[in-house]
């Protein structure tokens, strides 16, 4: 059983535990995929095909290949997952998107030291979504979201799939979930997808109400009535800028909606 003291001892002995990491995508050298996110002693890494070099300051030099950067990080301490990775010789990757990226490149779930059920469900949901298997994707992401509702990554994908499946109710639920972080949804352009969806469904009145609500939430952030809960708080000027950007972008759409609504009211 490896302990925190073992990690520190190896570091001070000059043969630290090193984690190898770097970009994971279609350009990643195939021989690097099995090694990424493994943790081994420096002396063990030197027995592999990888070149371990340091600069004059003792920092590990990066490895450049195919235009991508890879490298080693020395551990002075380690958490439970990292210790398990050392003991099992498996990958210490645990963040959902990192696990998914590696599975796309051919890794299987058994290569990771620790994976919670929600992470596996997220990865399976993404695979299903990319294969246009929306029902399966929704089923899997719902599992992940129910297990960890505070994980905004799961929430975002859960709402994204539902809107793709023409579920109008998801807009209100997503707005409620991110009501204190509406600036981020303006920044990511998510709010425009909501409005576009309602326009396509000819829900002009609801689209206008949504625009009004987004502006109100931004005003609350500007005035300090609300604080970001999921993402970091920003200066008031940032929220003002996002509000200006939002209204400028939807100006024509809003005008058309108001004209159509006025015309409908006259006829009625």
The confidence score (pLDDT) of residue 173 equals 98
Reported confidence tier of residue 267, pLDDT bands at 50, 70, 90: low
Q: What is the pTM of this model?
A: 0.90
Residue % of the chain over a pLDDT of 90: 93
Q: What is the mean pLDDT of residues 95-101?
A: 97
Contact predicate 222/173, CB 8 Å: no
Q: How many helices (H) and strands (E) does the chain have?
A: 13, 4
Q: Residues 163-217: pLDDT tens digits?
A: 999 999 999 999 999 999 999 999 999 999 999 999 999 999 999 999 999 999 9
The confidence score (pLDDT) of residue 268 equals 57
Q: What is the mean pLDDT of residues 130-152?
A: 97
The tokens describing 58, both together, are 């003792």
C-alpha distances out from residue 3 to 68, 123, 148, Å = 34, 31, 29
Q: Residues 33-57: pLDDT tens digits?
A: 999 999 999 999 999 999 999 999 9
Reported confidence tier of residue 1, pLDDT bands at 50, 70, 90: confident
Look at residue 114 and tell me whether its pLDDT is greater than 80: yes
The confidence score (pLDDT) of residue 262 equals 77
Reported confidence tier of residue 220, pLDDT bands at 50, 70, 90: very high
Look at residue 134 and tell me whether its pLDDT is greater than 60: yes
Angle among Cα 223, 226, 228 to the nearest 5 degrees reads 120
Its sign, for the CA torsion 64, 68, 72, 73, is: positive
Give Dmax over CA atoms of the chain in angstroms: 84
The confidence score (pLDDT) of residue 263 equals 73
**Helix 152-164 vs helix 96-104: crossing angle, to nearest 10:** 60
Nearest of 123, 72, 131, 79 to residue 99 by alpha carbon: 123
Contact predicate 227/259, CB 8 Å: no
Residue % of the chain over a pLDDT of 70: 98
Report residue 147: phi and psi, to 5°: -70, -40
Q: Which residues contact 21 (CB under 8 A, 6 or more apart)?
A: 36, 37, 70, 71, 73
Report residue 101: phi and psi, to 5°: -55, -40
The confidence score (pLDDT) of residue 192 equals 98
Domain boundaries, the chain: 1-115
Calpha distance 245→25 (Å, rounded): 33
Contact predicate 52/92, CB 8 Å: no
């Amino acid at each position: 059983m490896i302990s925190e003291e073992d990690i520190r001892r190896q570091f001070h002995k000059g043969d630290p535990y090193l984690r190898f990491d770097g970009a994971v995508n279609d350009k990643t050298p195939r021989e690097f995929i099995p090694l990424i996110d493994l943790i081994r002693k420096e002396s063990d890494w030197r027995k592999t095909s990888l070149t371990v070099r340091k600069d004059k300051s003792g920092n590990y030099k990066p490895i450049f290949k195919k235009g991508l950067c890879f490298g080693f990080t020395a551990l002075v301490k380690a958490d439970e997952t990292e210790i398990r990775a050392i003991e099992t010789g498996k990958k210490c990757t645990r963040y959902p998107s990192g696990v998914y990226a590696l599975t796309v490149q051919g890794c299987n779930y058994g290569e990771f030291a620790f994976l919670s059920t929600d992470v596996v469900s997220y990865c399976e949901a993404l695979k299903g979504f990319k294969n246009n298997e929306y029902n399966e994707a929704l089923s899997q992401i719902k599992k992940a979201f129910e297990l960890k509702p505070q994980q905004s990554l799961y929430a975002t994908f859960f709402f994204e799939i539902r809107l793709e499946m023409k579920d109008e109710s998801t807009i209100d639920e997503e707005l409620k979930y991110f009501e204190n972080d509406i600036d981020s949804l303006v920044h990511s352009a998510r709010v425009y997808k909501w409005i576009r969806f309602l326009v396509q469904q000819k829900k002009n009145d609801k689209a206008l109400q949504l625009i009004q609500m987004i502006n109100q939430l931004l005003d609350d952030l500007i005035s300090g009535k609300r604080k970001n809960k999921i993402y970091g708080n920003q200066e008031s000027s940032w929220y003002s800028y996002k509000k200006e950007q939002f209204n400028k972008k939807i100006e024509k759409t809003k005008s058309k909606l108001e004209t159509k609504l006025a015309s409908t009211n006259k006829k009625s």
